[in-house]
Structure 1
Amino acid sequence: MSEKEPARRPGGRSARVAAQVHQAVTELIGERGYGNFTVGDVAARAGVADSSVYRRWGNLETLLGEVALTRLNARSPMPDTGTLAGDLRTYAAQVAREITGPDGPAVLHLAVALAGTGEQGDRAREGVRAERTRQLQSVLDRARERGEEAPDAFEVLDHVLAPMYIRVLFGMDGLTPEYINGLVNRLLSFRPNGTAP
């Protein structure tokens, strides 16, 4: 690097702008719903120029896809409680906190809306699924290494995460610890030769 080139600071202005724009999108989705705002609305809410949004993301669909991927794939620490049941309960509780937090319902609705919008929506959907599967696989692989019988990642998605997502999407209450633990217990009790702890 020459002396004339300024050093780039990690997390500098570019990261701040991205965070402001992502937050603006999340707020607008929550207030107006999918398809009811423009790049100009996002830029105004974020306090940046329209040109900054277009330069970085190209169009609104690309930006929306990135927001859905980033917000739904929050990387909480993967639990290691020593048992599969404990790990799944802890992981499900973390996901519940993410999707019921201030922005959770809006981001879930965004992901559903994007699913029918073509290539960008497909990428967002596949990205969310792939990241959740990767997270779960690390928990399930560790359980098998301990000698525990474990379901596959899609069974956990179907029987634990999907019911939680449905409750949030339809505005239903009830992501209580008892409800979440019950989902995990039922999943594990359906395993051949398995019992719910």
Structure 2
Amino acid sequence: MNARPGSRPGGRSARVQQSVHRAVRELVAERGRDGLTVPVIAARAGVTPTTVYRRWGDLPQLLADVAVERMRPDGPPEDHGSLRGDLTAWAEQFLDEMASPPGRAYLRDALGGDPGSPGAGRCSTYAAEQVDVLLARAAERGEPAPGVEQVLDQLVAPMVYRILFRPGPLTAAYAHTLVDGLFTTSAG
């Protein structure tokens, strides 16, 4: 959760965030994205539009916050016994989730917020944290491993680009090709 500096965790701030996020998700499910306005969301959440504007600034920032929160991983990635196996399974899952219509919408919303806002990098941070877990496991097993940034650049970035800008069929085979390329680059 992204509380303002000086606000206490939980309390009213957390309740407002939860009710506004819930209102956005419900309204998107009922009406789609085109029918969303701050006053409509505020009314559903039981807060004033001023509360929404004060906390999120505008509708794109609110949608970005909701999207990024929805993209937060539920837990650490599964251990498949090797870095290649771990990265392959993680990339397949990432691609499957993010290439789905809701995943694409979440990515677009996450990228639609102000890049200078405190939560702007959370989506990238979540991916980096997941990759870091996989690389730490590889180190514990004594496997050579690329760095986090290399994995983000050669595995995550191409998938996000294809999901957003070349939305053709994206299969597990595409994820496998990227993982294979990462290991070829790391070895060379």
TM class by smaller structure: 0.7 to 0.9
Structure whose CA Rg is larger: 1
Aligned position for 2:92: 93
Q: Identical aligned pairs, as a percentage?
A: 30
Query: Aligned runs of 1:7-156 on 2, under 5 Å?
Result: 17-24=19-26, 31-32=33-34, 37-43=36-42, 47-51=44-48, 54=51, 57=55, 59-60=57-58, 63-114=62-113, 117=114, 119-120=116-117, 123-156=118-151
Deviating 4+ runs (over 3 angstroms): 13-16, 24-28, 47-50, 55-62
Alignment partners' CA distance in 2, 1:54 and 1:14:
9
Alignment partners' CA distance in 1, 2:76 and 2:148:
18
Q: CA deviation at 1:68?
A: 2.9
Judged with a 3 Å threshold, the aligned counterparts in structure 2 of structure 1 residues 80 and 53 are, in CA distance, closer, same or farther, namely farther
Judged with a 3 Å threshold, the aligned counterparts in structure 2 of structure 1 residues 77 and 187 are, in CA distance, closer, same or farther, namely same
- CA RMSD of superposed structures (Å): 3.2
Judged with a 3 Å threshold, the aligned counterparts in structure 2 of structure 1 residues 182 and 73 are, in CA distance, closer, same or farther, namely same
Judged with a 3 Å threshold, the aligned counterparts in structure 2 of structure 1 residues 177 and 65 are, in CA distance, closer, same or farther, namely closer
How many pairs were matched up? 173
Query: Aligned runs of 1:158-169 on 2, under 5 Å?
Result: 158-169=153-164
Judged with a 3 Å threshold, the aligned counterparts in structure 2 of structure 1 residues 124 and 24 are, in CA distance, closer, same or farther, namely farther
1:109-132 deviations in Å (ceiling 9; x for gaps)? 112222xx2532xx2332222221
Unmatched tracts of structure 2, length 5 or more: 1-14
Judged with a 3 Å threshold, the aligned counterparts in structure 2 of structure 1 residues 184 and 25 are, in CA distance, closer, same or farther, namely farther
Judged with a 3 Å threshold, the aligned counterparts in structure 2 of structure 1 residues 171 and 149 are, in CA distance, closer, same or farther, namely same
Aligned position for 1:4: none
TM-score by length of 2: 0.75
